[in-house]
Amino acid sequence: MNETNELAHDVALSMEPAAHFHLELSNRGVEFQAISPSPLLPTQFLEVAKPGDWGKVASVAKDQAWRWVAGWAEDEGNLFSVSVCLELQGTYLVLRTRTDGGNPFLPSHAPYFVSANRPERHMRDMFGIKFTGHPDPRRWTRHQAWDSETYPLRHAFPKEGQSPGQTPPDKDYPFFKVEGHGVFEIPVGPVHAGIIEPGHFRFHAVGETLLNLEERLCYVHKGIEKIAEGRTAESLARLAGRVSGDTTVGHAFAACLAMERAAGLEVPLRASFIRGLLVELERVINHLWDMAAICNDVAFAFAYYQFGRLRELWLRDNQALFGHRLLMDRIVPGGVNVDVTLESSERITKSIKFLRRELSELVTIHDQNSSLEDRLVAAGHLRVEDAQTLGALGFVGRSSGQSFDVRKDAPYSPYDQLEVTVPVENQGDVASRFWVRYKELWVALKLIEQLLEKMPDGEIATPWVSPPPDAEGLGLVEGWRGEILSYVRFGEDGKISRYYPRDPSIVNWPALEKLVLGNIVPDFPVCNKSVNGSYSGNDL
Amino acid sequence: MFGIYRKILTTGVLTEKFARKKRATQQVALESRETGIDELGKKLQATIDKRFAGSLHIRQVDAGSCNGCELEIHALNNVYYDIERFGVHFVASPRHADVLLVTGPVSRNMEAALRRTYEATANPKWVIAVGDCGACGGEFGVSYASCGAVANVIPVDAVVPGCPPTPLDLMRGILDLFSC
Ligand code: SF4
């Protein structure tokens, strides 16, 4: 490093990430305005004046090691706005620019950030915004339900669609081709041989070894963003709880947080604690289930049934204590609609004790099982560098050295009052994703205890007050799969005019394409399970 | 190895038909009394024995669900419900199926795949639409991206509402289909 660089480096270190970003944008001649106070508090916000500078902005972000969190667009009549959320060292920053409504185009961020690739294709399909320099010109969310000249998220596009007849099969998608001696292609899906969500996988293999995997998703695209428009706050919370059924609490939490921030509404502390409790319960249930399923995919039926048994007990607790096995619709705008009584707290404490004992016993068995080790260790390896490039989240990231956890790095209520430990490993294989889940499970149990112990008295909800038109809010929470982002804008009469949820699956699905390479075809199911992306959460 | 055997033995049989057996934990025994699996299961088994020579094959198809329904369908196979003991078996191919268990509002992107799965299923065949979404479109309704109810795309013989329906609701739904 030469002297000036060193100096710049020192300055950078001593500066707050957003200020450093501003400085570099100015150095590169990008015209921008940092809006203060930000309309998306606590997230910082800046507008980039010229859409032509959009690529330069990404290049600065890349140089400074920001993580590309999410991107979404809005139809503003004569213009389209495109917003991108970045994160560095726990600081979130939203950038926005506008492009002409007649011929909308912007420089792509995908050459700088892999995680921008599919979201930009989504925006292209849904809004008709072209991203110049994007490495992949193919459609993504659009199959055959609407034609290439119409864009569902433009206001002019009717909610009920334009082609009422039968939807033809999507048979001409231009998959990547791998050719050569001995290479063969295996198409799988969208309907899979099990009780799972639909999606298409195109494998290229030589013998048993996988050369390439291409995911073709969006089969369960249900138009969530479009049908959110015009809903009341309460109705949006219900919809958010169905973005991905297994993350119903996480998405409802993020959406409500976004709406409350837009409305400037302070949620009672007790409500926040109960929300935290519900999220952690969801984490326990899902991690148990994933651990069961990973074992099942390597034919270790014993553990599948054991973990599945423990999970069922927690589902029944949920039903008994909160009235719903998966905890759907318990989080509402302004708070929650279920309280925690002394009895429920006692029952949960008992269940925790029981689960800990069972887990310790099971894990010894697990540890002593060499055939299990044989299948899980080194399978589906995701390199630390790849995880970083992809911005991998949750247990996928944390098994490959990415420690980011919203609860710890950008804490929100109730986590700003709790101690969150984040287990991180570097092995990056299926075994590691199993063990990180296991460790996170223990952390969740500890958090539940803390939440119950410190649970403040008071109301569980505050009455909902609609914000004025145009108010916007951003909610970021750590769901069981990782960081969830939820963007909300209000229109007239307190009705929603824009909702964009970013499930961690959107970021993690590309990791699967990487980590299966060089593995044998029969190991694909367990690799897939170890990542366990949500199709519904991805496809929206 | 012995650890596995020991754990299997001490866990005991938790499947809820065998309520007489001593349970591994008090907590579990308490739970099982709350459910009505025993009675429901007997009926289900009698129906399946009579009409399907003891074995009913189900192919589950997610045609656009939020995956909540899938979680509860999965739970049918856990040790408490263990639906296989009544002769209900989930199969990997529609060619082997008597019944299609379809979830979700049917997304437009899954419409063709659902029709094809239906066509691939041998006659006689039945379709159960699962969840509020499968029943009427649920939270998603009909839109440019969603056909709504399963019945809007393929013929439906029975509906199991709920968001998502519980494992017991699902068992009842399967029973209802064949007791009419
Ligand atoms: S019925 Fe409920 S749980 Fe089932 S797919 Fe629809 S929203 Fe999800």
The one-character DSSP state at A96 is: E
Q: Above 70 in pLDDT, residue A223?
A: yes
Question: Chain B, 100-139: which have a CB under 8 Å from a chain A CB?
Answer: 104-105, 107-113, 115-117, 138-139
Give chain A's count of helices (H) and strands (E): 18, 15
What DSSP state is assigned to residue B107?
Answer: B
CB contact under 8 A, A169 and B117: no
The Cα of B50 is separated from the nearest Cα of chain A by a number of Å equal to: 27
Closest partner CB to B73 (pick from A152, A195, A198): A195
pLDDT at A278: 97
Please count the CA atoms within 13 angstroms of the CA of B35 that sit on its side-chain side: 27
Angle at B43 between CA B38 and CA B46, to 5 degrees: 125
Query: Of the candidates A220, A234, A253, A371, which has an alpha carbon nearest to the alpha carbon of residue A303?
Result: A371
- Domain definitions of chain B by residue range: 14-178
In chain B, what residues touch A146 (CB-CB under 8 Å)? 144
CB contact under 8 A, A223 and B164: no
Write down the mean pLDDT value for chain A. Answer: 92
Q: Which residue from A minimizes the CA distance to B29?
A: A313
**Cα–Cα–Cα angle for B22, B28, B31, nearest 5°?**
120
CB neighbours of residue A190 within 10 Å: 27
**How long a stretch of residues is chain A?**
540
β-bridge pairing B56-62 and A200-206: unpaired
Pick the CATH number of B14-178 from 3.30.70.260, 3.40.50.12280, 3.90.850.10, 1.10.3720.10: 3.40.50.12280
Sign of CA dihedral A356, A359, A365, A370: negative
Pick the residue whose CA is nearest to atom 2 on ligand 1.
B163
Residue type, B108: R
Q: How far is A245 from chain B (nearest CA, A)?
A: 4
Beta-carbon contacts below 8 Å between A and B: 180
Residue with tokens 């080194």: A378
Would the pLDDT of A7 be above 70? no
Locate the ligand 1 atom nearest the alpha carbon of residue B64 and give its number: 5
pLDDT surpassing 90 at residue A276 = yes
| A531 Cα to chain B: minimum distance (Å) | 16
Q: Which among B146, B128, B142, B138 has a CA at the least distance from the CA of B164?
A: B138
At A501, which helix (H) or strand (E)? strand A496-502
- Residue A142: closest CA among chain B residues belongs to which residue? B109
Residues framing ligand 1 (Cβ under 6 A) = A 242, 245; B 65-66, 68-69, 103-104, 131-133, 138-139, 163-164
User: Is residue B30 scored above 70 in pLDDT?
Assistant: no
CA-to-CA separations, A521 to A122, A213, A431, B94, B107, in angstroms, rounded: 29, 10, 18, 23, 29
pTM for this prediction: 0.93
B140 contacts in A (CB within 8 Å)?
Answer: 222-224, 227, 242
A218: nearest CA partner in chain B: B109
Residue among B108, B66, B146 nearest A251 (CA): B66
Among B61, B69, B169, which is best to mutate for testing ligand 1, by the most ligand atoms less than 8 A from CB? Answer: B69
**What kind of fold does domain A15-132 have according to CATH?**
Beta Polymerase; domain 2 (3.30.460)
Please report the pLDDT score of residue B29 as a whole number: 41
First to last CA, chain A: 46
Of all residues in chain B, the one with the smallest CA distance to A289 is B71
Instruction: Verify whether the Cβ–Cβ distance B27 to A354 is below 8 Å.
Output: yes
Nearest CB to A221; choose among B90, B107, B138:
B107
Mean pLDDT of B2-15: 82
Task: Read off the pLDDT of residues A316-369 as tens digits, 9 standing for 90 and up.
Answer: 999 999 999 999 999 999 999 999 999 999 999 999 999 999 999 998 888 888
Alpha helices in A410-532 (DSSP H): 430-454, 504-515, 524-531
Please work out, in degrees rounded to the nearest 5, the angle formed at the alpha carbon of residue A11 by the alpha carbons of A7 and A15.
170
Which of 158-217 (A) contact B at CB < 8 A? Answer: 158-162, 166-170, 190-191, 193-198
Helices first, then strands: H and E counts in chain B: 7, 5
- Asked if residues B177 and B126 have their Cβ atoms less than 8 Å apart, the reply is yes
Residue A1: pLDDT over 60:
no
Contact A222 B140 (CB under 8 A): yes
Kindly list the residues from chain A whose CB atom is less than 8 angstroms away from the CB atom of residue B116.
Answer: 169
Closest CA to B84 of B72, B75, B93, B94: B75
How close B176 comes to chain A (CA, Å)?
22
Q: Give the residue from chain B lying closest to A158, CA to CA.
A: B144
Lowest average pLDDT, out of A496-500, B28-32, B77-81, B145-149, goes to: B28-32
**Residue with CA at minimum distance from ligand 1 atom 5:** B65
pLDDT per position as a tens digit, A132-155: 999 998 999 999 999 899 999 999
Give the separation between CA A505 and CA B11, rounded to whole angstroms.
35
The helix (H) or strand (E) run that includes residue A131 is: strand A130-132
Q: In the predicted model, is pLDDT for residue B42 greater than 80? A: no
**A18: which 2 tokens?**
């957003």
Distance from CA of B79 to the nearest CA of A (A): 6
Q: What is the pLDDT of residues B121-161, one digit of tens each?
A: 998 899 999 999 999 999 999 999 999 999 999 999 999 99
Q: Band the pLDDT of A245: cuts 50, 70, 90.
A: very high
